[in-house]
A and B are shown apart, each in its own frame.
Chain A
Amino acid sequence: MSPSPMRRELDDTTGAAGAASATTTRPAIGAPSSGDVGFTVNRERQTVTVDNRTTLLDWLREQAGLTGAKKGCNEGACGACTVLVDGERTNACLTLVVQCAGREIVTVEGLAGPGGRLHPVQQAFIDHDAFQCGYCTPGQVISAVACIAEGHATDEATVREWMSGNLCRCSAYPQIAAAVLDAAARMRRA
């Protein structure tokens, strides 16, 4: 049973409706403790000036308007901030922007194809009702994309183990695991 269109619109946690747009920079705070960094976010090249203390998570949310990644724990223990850095799933809260020079960042907002065509993982999460409050969902979706690319979406137990870095307090784990396995199957058939 798929969720109603109304819910899909309200609960845009799969990033389906989000366009990839990263914006601007912040004035330098003081030369020694800040720096210029060039990297790519959702296929858009960025050159920004940041205080060295800025995490990728805070920059994405507060400077780039990419609020898909969530601050669940800010210590790398929940996975709600999971993004891809050079294709590898990473906790954005444990990554400094200054360490991202030359890297390619992908967030949940960057998954959909041209015209908003949903990524198979996004579609599978909707089809399997793989979220309740939706807070962990962007991190789950990104983590699942990487999990599948790593070749770890083989069976339920393996998916549960390799998705264990993404906590869900609503306990949608069975649906999430089903969505990951289904998306992997669809992508193999594609």
Chain B
Amino acid sequence: MREFTYAAPERPALALAALARAGAAPIAGGTELLNWMRLGIAEPAELVDVGRIGGWDRIALEDGMLHIGALATLNAVEAHEDVRRYAAALSQACLKAASAQVRNRATLGGNVLQKTRCEYFRAEAPLPWPCNKRDPGSGCAARHGVNERHAILGWTDACVATQPSDPAVALACLDAEADVIGPDGPRSIAMTEFHLSQAQAAELSPGRAAQLETRLAPGELIAGYRIPLREGERSAYVKVRERESFEYALVAAAAAVRLEGGVVREARLALGSVAQKPWRLDAAEAVLAGAPLTREIARSAIRAALADARPLAMNAYKIEMGANAALRALLAAGGQA
């Protein structure tokens, strides 16, 4: 690990000024960054600890929205009564993430910025195989290698990684927005657009697409999230994995549904770990709106929405597994679990 200077500004403006310096990177819980630094994924010359910024860990209901500060830890988000009541999918996603120890440090702002678990990517430098994220232009070892945990949607030949965050899936399902501050002022990013698939990244940055994973610009910080509250809506999160706990998902699904007399007024479905971004099943949502919530209708709509999935050599199972997870999440949200 290279040497670095350390600063802990207590005000956002000071943090932004520090992050504008070359080689500076933010640290909050540090549960990802320290491992990046050990592996050679990141080598900041300066760590700007944003964890001392006051008020950024607040969770509150305001103006019909649930506000969650970026420094709220995953445990704090999970346990908050307003999150459990109004954004159950997010509470459940936080609970199923990581371990109790990690959740005491990991923040909601940092969690969505975690990187893929691809084993080729996560190796310690120097890498004995190609990886376009680690060494642009070198190739993708997973594309024709061991890719059973990789993407079935949105991938390109340059990179087939998935985004592993559980909370990100819930945030996308719930149409949350990230409130971001940066050198060019504050802005909001819809969580359905925050992460980029490899195909989207290639359009934005053809030369270094594999290294472009979110729409957060250098020097910007997530300050918090806003989740719109919709009267009568219930949500749920399903995480499918080989171990019962403390493991990343094979596939995951978040569902939110508003029912009136057994008929879907509105449904939102997002799949996790099938792409480098949470994948909203827009086509299924459209079919479900106005339809009775039955297993048959839901299954059919979900499978149709996954018709354009493109499996790799080892991960075709994710299509059916993802469809099943989405169905389970939808039925759980609809009270039919």
Interface residues of A in 160-187 (CB under 8 A from B): 160-166
Q: In whole angstroms, how far apart are the Cα atoms of A168 and B251 in the complex?
A: 26
Q: In whole angstroms, how far apart are the Cα atoms of A29 and B4 in the complex?
A: 12
Q: How far is the CB of A174 from chain B (nearest CB, A)?
A: 15
Question: B6 within 8 Å of A by Cβ?
Answer: yes
Residues in B whose Cβ lies below 8 Å from that of A96:
6, 27, 30, 34, 47
Residues in A whose Cβ lies below 8 Å from that of B1:
53
Residues in A whose Cβ lies below 8 Å from that of B138:
none
In the complex, the answer to whether B101 meets A165 with C-beta atoms within 8 Å is: yes
Question: A115 within 8 Å of B by Cβ?
Answer: no
Closest to B100 in A: A165
In the complex, the answer to whether A52 meets B47 with C-beta atoms within 8 Å is: yes
Residues in A whose Cβ lies below 8 Å from that of B246:
77, 164-165
In the complex, the answer to whether A94 meets B34 with C-beta atoms within 8 Å is: yes
At the interface, is chain A mostly helix, strand, loop or mixed? mixed
Q: In whole angstroms, how far apart are the Cα atoms of A166 and B47 in the complex?
A: 29
In the complex, the answer to whether B102 meets A165 with C-beta atoms within 8 Å is: yes
Among B30, B35, B98, B245, point to the contact of A95 (Cβ < 8 A): B30
In the complex, the answer to whether A76 meets B5 with C-beta atoms within 8 Å is: no
Question: B11 within 8 Å of A by Cβ?
Answer: no
Residues in A whose Cβ lies below 8 Å from that of B300:
none
In the complex, the answer to whether A164 meets B3 with C-beta atoms within 8 Å is: no
Q: Which residues of A pack against B, CB within 8 Å? A: 29-30, 32-33, 35, 51-53, 55, 74-77, 79, 82, 85, 88-91, 93-96, 98-99, 101, 143, 146-147, 150, 152, 160-166
Question: B211 within 8 Å of A by Cβ?
Answer: no
Q: How far is the CB of A92 from chain B (nearest CB, A)?
A: 9
In the complex, the answer to whether A99 meets B30 with C-beta atoms within 8 Å is: yes
Among A76, A98, A152, A161, point to the contact of B35 (Cβ < 8 A): A76
Interface residues of B in 55-104 (CB under 8 A from A): 98-102, 104
In the complex, the answer to whether A147 meets B100 with C-beta atoms within 8 Å is: yes
Q: How far is the CB of A158 from chain B (nearest CB, A)?
A: 11
Residues in B whose Cβ lies below 8 Å from that of A163:
100
Among A77, A85, A98, A152, point to the contact of B6 (Cβ < 8 A): A98
Q: In whole angstroms, how far apart are the Cα atoms of A53 and B5 in the complex?
A: 9
Q: In whole angstroms, how far apart are the Cα atoms of A150 and B49 in the complex?
A: 27
Residues in A whose Cβ lies below 8 Å from that of B244:
161, 164
Residues in B whose Cβ lies below 8 Å from that of A164:
99-100, 244-246
- For this complex, 30 residue pairs linking A to B, each with C-beta atoms less than 8 Å apart, are A32-B3, A51-B3, A52-B4, A76-B31, A76-B35, A76-B101, A76-B102, A79-B99, A85-B104, A88-B104, A89-B100, A90-B104, A91-B102, A94-B102, A94-B105, A95-B30, A95-B105, A96-B30, A96-B47, A98-B49, A99-B51, A143-B100, A143-B101, A146-B100, A164-B99, A164-B100, A164-B246, A165-B98, A165-B102, A165-B246
Q: In whole angstroms, how far apart are the Cα atoms of A8 and B122 in the complex?
A: 41
Q: How far is the CB of A72 from chain B (nearest CB, A)?
A: 12
Q: How far is the CB of B115 from chain A (nearest CB, A)?
A: 13
Among B29, B31, B100, point to the contact of A162 (Cβ < 8 A): B100
Q: In whole angstroms, how far apart are the Cα atoms of A152 and B101 in the complex?
A: 14
Residues in B whose Cβ lies below 8 Å from that of A152:
100
Interface residues of B in 3-61 (CB under 8 A from A): 3-6, 8, 27, 29-31, 34-35, 38, 47, 49, 51
Q: In whole angstroms, how far apart are the Cα atoms of A101 and B52 in the complex?
A: 11
In the complex, the answer to whether A74 meets B38 with C-beta atoms within 8 Å is: yes
